[in-house]
Structure 1
């Protein structure tokens, strides 16, 4: 059986902190005849944090953003973006630096501002389980990344038992959250025989702008917007509204130990505001086709997958940002269009060599194509008469092969070693600006050698020692490599307006890429101590210190001269960096009172420090010391939780980006749920004390006004994006 420790928590005797942990030990699975016939698969390292359906059930009413489901996992922070588009940060490394797989698909954000990251393509109500690997990453889990690996899966196919006839099942649910008037519904249905299963999942969610606990800027009249003027209150976080719709149809065939699954998905986001971006998402359509095969043989397991995802993405100024501008106020917006297509294939095998040895081998192919253009704008001399080609015919092809050997030497010792080779080929076509004003940059770019080939190598080595039940020690080293993205290499214009339109970092600055960027190479050392009572219920504590050195870390430098206390124009550049930190989590059973119920304390602590060793500057978007403490009460079908969130002041900030400091804060959350076999009800109060605070990773507030200008009076530099004020929520789901 796979060995793991859920995001859980720090023993009361060790730190006086409480964290999230399972309420009961998992029931051992009895091997039936089918499992006996299949090959024995040894476990991957214990540093995986696993969220099952039960762990996720109480979170689905809280959020509409699937990345937010991971916020209780040690080592994970979230970089704020739109309402369904947060970016996971694992051990201080964010966005493209992490490998994210959704139902086995490696997806790529098709946007110069990364408004459609991979996890935005699956609704929280569709997520069945999630795994996060931080620290030492086995090469079999993926390449082209230097951070963690996040694996999210939707609900697996269900089949009828032999002789039971057709299986029919379904679920219907909804939620409401008072802050932002957020609401949504979801539904699912399954019709299955012993060998054929057909399923559907659908959901929709929407919200108005959310509100902070207090005014964080003056109230203002938003004039010259697309839909007419309107008032934005001082506590209203402009450009934070959203609406999203997701549908998925699955067909699965099973024959003995063979399973074939086809999933077809469609997403439509008609709008999503971004309080830390100069633009908003005005439309996003995505279609996914995903075909997978799993076969269990006497020698092991064979897996194969082919998939394709196509995105059509649009940006412009949303309802809180200036849409009509120019001397005569007759210039309408700035339309930006993107087409992205990701095609992938993967083939892997787990081969049992002996009772001790397991060999994992495989190959992966990913083909990514991107067009990013901005149509001319009538009555604008600056933005006409041509299309502005930000990236034309962008190409990024990756081919990987890997081999990994896992050995269970005895009941105490396990080792794992692997190597992955990755070839990344990138290219882009010629570009043009709106007019001759952009010719200098365009001509230099078009005359350059844009074809780049990177030969990358990943390594991993890990040893696990389990001297007794309830004690596990794990140590290892990994070398991981990531090639630059298309936007990092091929954004070309040094025009201030064009640079402002390329910012996937949410810091308000403008960026230009560099064709000659080198791949990032990260060397990570990590050690994990996992201690818990043998029964798995009484107490547990887990600690993971880690250290990462990154060669050729992609950071930024000033294009010319950077000025303090304002947004600036920056050039991407390779530097060297280091990151180190500690994940600490644990839980303890506090006892049970007859007629009242049982009590459990839970806690998670995270600390990370990141430094650019070339410029002696702090790395951008590093989460300060933080903790989540919880007291959980259970009686019968009821679960009640009192949670405290503590975050230290953020004083270590990136100078080159003029990153803003944020004050420390503490939040109180109250939650209650009633869960039966047929229905579930969730109620709660987030930020119950209505505490005003700024998000340490929320970026710069540019959610209203004249966002085309880097420095303007209506929403000037120096305002961090605030967190949400008090919010009452309720959710329900009914199974039938």
Structure 2
């Protein structure tokens, strides 16, 4: 069994002011602690397990009511706590969105999942840029490149997505935008603004800060935004432990410090904007440097990641409508090796360096044409050119020499898209939207070779020569013609009920790692894993695109002032050619251990329901009291094998008691997640017990100062992340079964946080 690091985390000394507010809200805490426990906390007999917990942040989600954006939800980034105070991971801000959960990765790189579909099955745009994870473990996803403090808006389109924001995805779209540029009024003095913020979080000694400075006159804006953050390994909860060898509840366990969970990052961005009459021209230059990000569910750690980007956008207003054009370029230099918690024991090799270099060039043109007061036509074209080299330099004089291992050589993935979308207000009650999108996706890769010399001997050398020869002899050039279609309708029954109907067909082509990873050698295969389950993966050049057929309906009951809301959204998704995993040809999956698997097209279905609501409770001398609730349920199945789909979040719910008193905005949350007793058999997905967490958040605002304080996991509950994958954080991780199977990644224990933001 792998060794569990058990060093103590430095304690967080609460100040007197923290003690005062904690005591002042003891009564508030008691109200919810005394309430009924609304979800199962049953424990499982098997070793607990797999995937990241839905610990929803207190972000308020308001459904977009404008007819131009059906089927979307906005994240209110400033309601309950400053985003940068709560997390360094922008994806974590989506926890309060109906239907969204997170697949845990590193501290900066969670992978959002919308109704059971995650990662590359979602389209994620950052300031209009389509960014791709250039890593065999997807350690650098798109949202990891924008700091929470630099977000201006965050919008989610779940399931049935308008074609104007979809494409090459089947699960939905996430659109992240930085703050829009400000300008002085004509003839007025120039604007000079800024913001400085800092925070500390106790559990993992997380600390960080951000600064933004802006100068603008009536036609020109220039802004700098910078942020930095650093954290140590986090500590698991203390109140309950499960023996990592037997999985029997109640036995002592050394799971204190969660190994390979530390991180450090620095972000810098300079943006300029120029008003050209009613038009706008924007240029932004950005760089991110991550010296270290460790991953508790991967066999490698990110030891350096440098991203540089340029984005040029033009927004024009005309008599007939508007025009938006953009061109962007991104370069990523990514390095992996073993961090301090992972042991490397392999002959003379000092480590196992793995490098990835990615380059993305993209452009888009989008027009909105006002055909009539009730008709809007959107037309657009997009292009993306992506290049990837994934190579592992020789190390030592043994099995990882004398050559560079070419995991993906000269990888290419190009997309060209056209779309048309017609939105019409039929009358005051009915709004419809019809769209069609065509994408031409081509992929290719060059010839490869492994570490082994062509004259080498032994099984490892023989396998590399055999696999590379078969790959090089294959026809690697692939071309896909993908068609998406969406039909949406909104019906306003009366002032208190809105109903949305949606049908969609959405298509995604395989990524480069799904098609072109070639080695069945266990050590190499386990390094190609972007789902965090500890297994090894081999690609299939002949994979077909996934085609999803989606139907959903939303019922939105609300008062006229929206203080009372209840939204219920049932959905059903059927996916043809779903890319799942199977045993290698001629092999079988061995239970309770890690295996080498191969990607394969199969059939899948996912159904479920999302519920969200809020209501006022009372108003008295202690302020305005309210209640909020969110419930998510998804059920996924492989139709070919009748196996469960991997990484489906169990039934989960969040209930919050809110209080507003003067400039105070406070909340007490209860997050409850059902046990995960069923999982993917082919991947040996680990089971997890149900759990309930409590979070307390307080915020006070003055004219130019905001103070955020709170405690997450108040009861210091020990739990495993249902979507956190396998705990492969330490030990002989390069040996496929050199680390014990059966332990999931523990969630973070009690953590106090305090943050201050000053605007000037």
Is it true that 1:692 corresponds to 2:718 in the alignment?
A: yes
Superimposed CA distance per residue, residues 94-145 of structure 1 (whole angstroms, 9 cap, x where no aligned partner): 1000000001100000000000000000111111110000021110112000
Cross-structure match for 1:304: 325
Matches within 5 A, 1:62-211: 62-211=86-235
Counterparts of 2:86 and 2:243 in 1: how far apart (Å)?
27
Cross-structure match for 1:475: 501
Cross-structure match for 2:691: 665
Cross-structure match for 1:3: none
Counterparts of 1:124 and 1:579 in 2: how far apart (Å)?
31
Cross-structure match for 2:619: 592
Counterparts of 1:626 and 1:148 in 2: how far apart (Å)?
20
C-alpha deviation, 1:180, in angstroms: 0.7
Asked if 2 retains the 8 angstrom alpha-carbon contact of 1:20 and 1:601, the reply is no
Cross-structure match for 2:668: 642
Cross-structure match for 1:621: 647
Counterparts of 1:444 and 1:710 in 2: how far apart (Å)?
23
Distance 1:696 1:21, change over 3 A: closer
Residues 666-675 or 158-167, more deviating: 158-167
Cross-structure match for 1:347: 365
Structure 1 residue ranges without an equivalent (≥5) = 1-14, 29-40, 220-231
Cross-structure match for 1:403: 420
C-alpha deviation, 1:711, in angstroms: 1.5
Cross-structure match for 1:571: 598
Is it true that 1:271 corresponds to 2:298 in the alignment?
A: no
Cross-structure match for 2:734: 708
Cross-structure match for 1:546: 571
Cross-structure match for 1:235: 256
TM-score by length of 2: 0.88
C-alpha deviation, 1:21, in angstroms: 8.0
Is it true that 1:416 corresponds to 2:423 in the alignment?
A: no
C-alpha deviation, 1:629, in angstroms: 0.5
Counterparts of 1:362 and 1:42 in 2: how far apart (Å)?
19
C-alpha deviation, 1:206, in angstroms: 0.6
Cross-structure match for 2:24: none
Asked if 1 retains the 8 angstrom alpha-carbon contact of 2:80 and 2:665, the reply is no
C-alpha deviation, 1:52, in angstroms: 3.5
Counterparts of 1:558 and 1:322 in 2: how far apart (Å)?
28
Is it true that 1:431 corresponds to 2:457 in the alignment?
A: no
* Structure 1 segments (4+ residues) deviating >2 Å: 15-26, 52-60, 214-219
Is it true that 1:385 corresponds to 2:402 in the alignment?
A: yes
Distance 1:389 1:22, change over 3 A: closer
Residues paired across the two proteins, number: 688
Counterparts of 2:192 and 2:243 in 1: how far apart (Å)?
53
Distance 1:217 1:85, change over 3 A: farther
Counterparts of 2:209 and 2:687 in 1: how far apart (Å)?
38
Asked if 1 retains the 8 angstrom alpha-carbon contact of 2:58 and 2:80, the reply is no
Asked if 2 retains the 8 angstrom alpha-carbon contact of 1:42 and 1:358, the reply is no
Structure 2 residue ranges without an equivalent (≥5) = 1-36, 40-55, 246-252, 455-460
Matches within 5 A, 1:329-368: 330-368=348-386
Counterparts of 1:626 and 1:472 in 2: how far apart (Å)?
25
Asked if 1 retains the 8 angstrom alpha-carbon contact of 2:539 and 2:598, the reply is yes
Superimposed CA distance per residue, residues 491-518 of structure 1 (whole angstroms, 9 cap, x where no aligned partner): 0111111101100010000000000000
Cross-structure match for 1:38: none
Distance 1:704 1:446, change over 3 A: same
Counterparts of 1:19 and 1:485 in 2: how far apart (Å)?
31
TM-score by length of 1: 0.91
Counterparts of 1:391 and 1:303 in 2: how far apart (Å)?
35
